[in-house]
A = this chain, B = another copy of it.
Amino acid sequence: MPTSTAPSTARERARIEITQEILNTARDHLTKDGAAALSLRAVARDLGMVSSAIYRYVPNRDSLLTMLIIDAYDSLGADVEKAERTVRREAHLERFLTTCQAVRTWALAHPQEYALIYGSPVPGYAAPADTIVPASRVPAVLITILIDMHSRGRQPKPTPVEPLVSTAIADLRMFSGGLLPDDLLLRGMAAWSSLFGAISFELFGHLHNVVADGSKYRKAYFDHQMRQVALGLRLG
């Protein structure tokens, strides 16, 4: 009995390879023209296939988008995890800042992929459940940092949280394994959305005429802001 993970036949191996090539080509198109312009026909053309052949591998356009979304979340997640892993576990502040910088670095290098996952939703497209796990990789890194900080006894006096707000974040509390007080969970959420707010503003052009254009200015500005966010997390 062959295991289901080891493809045996030439057909199976070819299928996996070609599916991968489709994904790579689709990613190239996404990078060049954005998600809205992504077309099955164009991808097939680039691979020297007739347009209908691609339907042997991809049931329709939406599923190709889903593949790209998962791919983008995983690419971002892998980069961020790798960067964060290099930092001393006790250096909570530095772990946070490294995480933020890794997200920004990835976003600048992959603007269309960033827009695909953190920009406006593609109209008429509903993300299926398979995207949830890859989408959680960055939040998971952030929460782990908070848990580590919290468990080492660095517990600032928590701000009280209204019951309605506490109820609102029940899912998040579960995701964090119930290891963090509501106050810290909320600060974590604030940090998370500040991080992506800052990057979206930069990438989507809202810093024009506000923060100088040069990449060193942009980086200095971003780092400054994330250090302030870290203060809000009491990581400083």
Contacts and interface: CB of A to CB of B under 8 A. Distances in A.
A204 B118 contact: yes
Interface size class of A (residues with CB under 8 A): 35 or more
A193 to B, nearest CB: 4
Nearest to A216: B164
A200 interface: yes
A178 interface: no
Nearest to A168: B217
A193 B197 contact: yes
A156 B75 CA distance: 42
A86 to B, nearest CB: 25
Contact of A190 (B118, B119, B124, B225): B225
Interface of A: 33-34, 36-37, 112, 115-116, 118-124, 127, 132, 135, 139, 159, 161-162, 164-165, 167-172, 175, 186-187, 189-190, 193-198, 200-201, 204-206, 209-212, 216-218, 220-221, 224-225, 228-229, 232
